[in-house]
Amino acid sequence: MRKPDPEAPLCDCDHLWQCSKDPENPIIFDAEMNEFHLKYGSHSIMIYYCHFCGGRAPADSKRASRFTEPTVTERIRLMELTQNIKTLDQALEILGPPDHDFPVGESWTEPAKDDQPETTVFYRNLSYHHLSDTAEVRVRVYPTDRVQFRFVSKYVRPEKNKS
Ligand SMILES: [Zn+2]
């Protein structure tokens, strides 16, 4: 998938700022993330480019630095730790009790097409935070008790919330 170009010229006009100051305008500024968002109802989407000058926005999103980045060595270590675990029982035996157990940890909806109705699938997720400093280990549990692993960057709390 094509991603926003980090080398694109920055927005150097004031337009997004001006919009965000207007309470009637759906463009808001998220000061914590240092990002502009387009708000609709209870949802919001991140704005990557200024709609006036076409420049990249904002100047310095803090998003990237808010998540850990597991090293290649760490990913390999986690892969080796989990590669032989195929069932829920094996996961619990080898990894121990999870830090969180989400009965509906994941869901996605397949849109209707041809003669197939819209379908939504749910999976139980187990989450382990203590297995790695830089990755949360997420276990997808299939209804057959088969499991699948993925390693997710951990969220880094902003400095100001540390005390
Ligand atoms: Zn601009």
Tell me the average confidence (pLDDT) per consecutive run of 10 residues in the chain, 163 residues long.
78 85 89 84 88 80 68 93 96 96 84 82 92 93 88 76 47
Cα 40 to ligand 1 centre (Å): 21
Cα 42 to ligand 1 centre (Å): 26
In this prediction, residue 18 carries a pLDDT of 87
| Cα separation, 97 vs 120, whole angstroms | 28
In this prediction, residue 82 carries a pLDDT of 96
In this prediction, residue 70 carries a pLDDT of 85
In this prediction, residue 63 carries a pLDDT of 59
Beta strands in the chain (DSSP E): 27-30, 35-40, 43-46, 100-110, 119-128, 135-141, 147-153
36 neighbors 57 (Cβ within 8 angstroms): yes
| Cα separation, 28 vs 17, whole angstroms | 8
List b or e across 102-133, with b for residues whose CB sees 16 or more CB atoms inside 10 angstroms.
Answer: eeebeeeeeeeeeeeeeeeeebbbbebeebbe
In this prediction, residue 69 carries a pLDDT of 80
In this prediction, residue 17 carries a pLDDT of 86
Cα 46 to ligand 1 centre (Å): 15
Cα 43 to ligand 1 centre (Å): 23
| Cα separation, 138 vs 66, whole angstroms | 19
3-class SS of residue 160: helix
In this prediction, residue 97 carries a pLDDT of 97
Choose among 163, 145, 28, 162: nearest CA to 88: 145
Cα 136 to ligand 1 centre (Å): 37
